[in-house]
Structure 1
Amino acid sequence: MIDRKWLPLNALRAFDAVGRRLSFTAGAQSLNVTQSALSRHVSSLEELIGKRLLDRRPQGIVLTEAGAKLLPVVTKSFDRIEKVLNELKSDGVERPRVLKVHMPPTFLQRFGLPMLHEFRGEYPNVAVDVSSTYGNGMPARELDVAIIYDRPKISDAINDLLWMQRSTPVCSPALAERFRDRPLEELLNASELLHIRVEGQPADYHWAQFCRHNDVECVTARGITFDTLALAVQYAERGHGVVLADIDMFADEIAAGRLGVPTSLEYKDGFGYFLSLHPEDLDDPLIALFRHWVITRFAGIDRRPSAGRDEEPAGEPGSRPRGWTAV
């Protein structure tokens, strides 16, 4: 077993530099050492634990499963050592803490921006560094906490479910009215199908699953694919096609009549939004605060569209940010 008195600190520092940048060149430049020296340190660490941490591929470097597990622990450990040393060096004057948060683009646009504004209003002394990338799952970058779009899965991360996605076809109100009281197949086959990119799946993944699940006859391998649901919904709202949209995510537009809903059919695809963090961060007061703050804003909220409902949702009074009808 590895004892702390034998911890290979130089090798860990080398792995941190390369793993965060996924580049030996950039990692070597950050530490002012040669690439060959950096490579030797990483190789020695891999030999010590008996597992590869990085895969050297023609298109670049990627973290292995072991590397992805080790990197956030190493990075946060060095961050905390650096923070305390700087506090001691500055005679105990604590530097402002920066909370590094990740959110998917559509979530950030729809809910994250007002949520972060409210959080900063309550905790103005906490600086927030926000990142947003496409794709599902945990991004491979240095983070304190992330809201991710993914399926439930077993992992080392702490994943708190915010809500599970349930989708229905939406389009412009005019298009929905034109096909009112007609079979859904007619609308879908006469319209542009709008798709959302899902990592590792064909472009028409969601539409194919929806049609199969609901026994709808439709050729789904056609149309336009977008990186985000928000872009696809904007395109559909202007009368240019039909998209499967999360009912809870776009409840405001549905309730206000800005989006037409031509069918009562729904589809639960197994994807949801999760608040994710590393287990070792549970004892970090700031991360624990943000985790609790987010969860209370999603707990106990009625997710039905808000049309005809003026009452306050269940849960803590004021737990829903202003303007949120369904989360």
Structure 2
Amino acid sequence: MRAFDAVGQHLSFTGGAAALSVSQSAMSRHVIGLEELLGKQLFHRDTPKLTLTAAGEELLPVVRKCLDRLEQTMNGIRDDDTAKRALRIHIPPSLLQQLALPMLRDFKSEHPDIRIDVSSAHVTGLPATNLDMAIVFDRPNVDDRVTDLLWNVRVAPLCSPQTARDCAGSSLADFLAGQELLHVKLDDEPRDLLWATFARQCTLAIPTEGGLAFDTAIAAAQYAMAANGVFLGDYDMFAQELADGRLVMPFVMSIDDGYGYYLKLHADDLADPAISVFRTWLINRFADHPRRASVPA
């Protein structure tokens, strides 16, 4: 299993052998033995570059996760610290900064014995890292993971008070046509997807291709507050900025763009008491988070 994992991570018998400090022939024998045990080929060897077969792609992340969990458990036993294994969770940057940081503080106050390691990077969907659970920004989808909707996104055009004042009296279409539209990039999607969706749902004939694009909604919001432009922001996520007057919603027009924040984890991980406790706590905390009344569309 370790040999298969190393070769799969490097997509190279040479690279895998170097990682484990064994010979290439030994790595090959181990992988062949695993393939014979399964009755399935795990790698395509007849291509210029080693690639995983469908069976290999299915097995590799499971092996990686099991080996990682085994190593953590053994280290905990060795250090007499099994109960304090850190839970690894990914939280998208905007959600982390706007909502999740105080939640994590409260969870630590209530459960000081559970350690949490947080990673945060721009990504739509699941990040390509080894995690116990991940909050993802995505459309609804079905896969082999337990999926819980934490936060449904509803967006509206948001800008600085000065930007709104400069266009007082304009219609929504004229206002947006005369502004720099700030985009939040989504992986493998057109840069103007969110604005194009907003224009279509609101039947606005406006150009959406121009303007600056950012990796995160928080970056777009900070630019809008410091400079100019309009971004599509979740008005509940930016409730504090709206309350403080740093952002304004110049038009009462919002849409559900189909995206939300979902908690994802493997079903077998629910057997871990710490993961189960954190999942339940997080679902309840997001459910209890105050949200403003619906903005009429």
Contact 2:135 2:262 in 1 (8 A): yes
CA contact (8 A) 1:248 1:305 kept: no
What letter matches 1:107 in structure 2? L
Shift of 1:138: 1.0
Matched, 1:137 2:125: yes
Q: Tell me, in whole angstroms, the C-alpha distance in 2 between the residues paired with 1:55 and 1:139.
A: 28
Among 141, 144, 150, the alignment partner of 1:156 is 144
- Of 253, 264, 268, 1:280 maps to 268
Tell me the equivalent position of 2:166.
Answer: 178
What is residue 100 of structure 2 aligned with on the other side?
112
What secondary structure sits across from 1:148 in the alignment? strand
Q: CA deviation at 1:85?
A: 4.2
Cα pair distance change 1:183/1:38, threshold 3 Å: farther
Q: Residue 121 of structure 1 corresponds to which residue in structure 2?
A: 109
Letter in structure 1 aligned against 2:214:
F
The code of the aligned residue for 2:6 comes to A
Name the Cα RMSD after superposition.
3.2
Correspondence 1:16 to 2:5? yes
Aligned position for 2:218: 230
Cα distance, 1:57 vs structure 2: 9.7
- 1:51–1:146 distance in 2 versus 1, CA, 3 Å: farther
Contact kept in structure 2, 1:174 and 1:239, CA below 8 Å: no
Structure 1 residues 121 and 194: alpha-carbon distance in aligned structure 2, compared to 1, 3 A threshold: same
- Give the 3 Å change call, closer, same or farther, for CA 87–131 of structure 1 in structure 2: closer
User: Normalized against structure 1, the TM-score is what?
Assistant: 0.78
Aligned to 1:96: 84
Moved more, 21-30 or 173-182: 21-30
How far the C-alpha of 1:108 sits from its partner, in A, is 1.5
State the Cα distance separating 1:87 from its structure 2 match: 5.5
Deviates more, 1:126-135 or 1:67-76: 67-76
Which residue identity is paired with 2:210?
R
Q: Judge which range, 41-50 or 204-213, deviates more.
A: 41-50
Aligned to 1:312: none
Indicate conservation of the 8 Å contact 1:102/1:143, yes or no: yes
- Check whether the contact 1:174–1:260 (CA below 8 A) recurs between aligned residues: no
Does 2:22 align with 1:33?
Answer: yes
CA contact (8 A) 1:254 1:305 kept: no
Tell me the amino acid that sits aligned with residue 286 of structure 2: F
- Give 2:228's aligned amino acid: H
For this pair of structures, how many residues does the alignment match? 293
Q: Partner of 1:126: helix, strand, or coil?
A: coil
Closer, same or farther in 2 for the Cα pair 1:203/1:100, shift >3 Å? Answer: same
Q: Partner letter of residue 172 of structure 1?
A: S
Q: 1:250 is matched by which residue type in structure 2?
A: F
The match for 1:78 is 67
Shift of 1:21: 6.6
What 5-or-longer segments of structure 1 have no aligned partner? Answer: 1-11, 307-327
Distance change (3 Å), C-alpha of 1:65 and 1:164: farther
Task: Check whether the contact 1:103–1:148 (CA below 8 A) recurs between aligned residues.
Answer: yes
The answer on whether the counterparts of 1:251 and 1:305 sit within 8 Å (CA) in structure 2 is no
Contact kept, 8 Å, 1:171 with 1:239, in 2: the verdict is no
1:265 corresponds to 2:243: no
1:190 counterpart residue number = 178
Q: TM-score, normalised by structure 2?
A: 0.85
For residues 217-249 of structure 1, give each alpha carbon's deviation from its aligned partner in whole angstroms, at most 9, with x where no partner exists.
211111111011100011011241110111221
Question: What secondary structure is seen at the aligned counterpart in 2 of 1:299?
Answer: helix
Alpha carbons of structure 1 residues 62 and 109: separation in structure 2 relative to 1, 3 Å = farther
Asked if residue 289 in structure 1 is aligned to residue 277 in structure 2, the reply is yes
Which residue does 1:220 correspond to in 2?
208
Pairwise CA distance, 1:268: 1.0
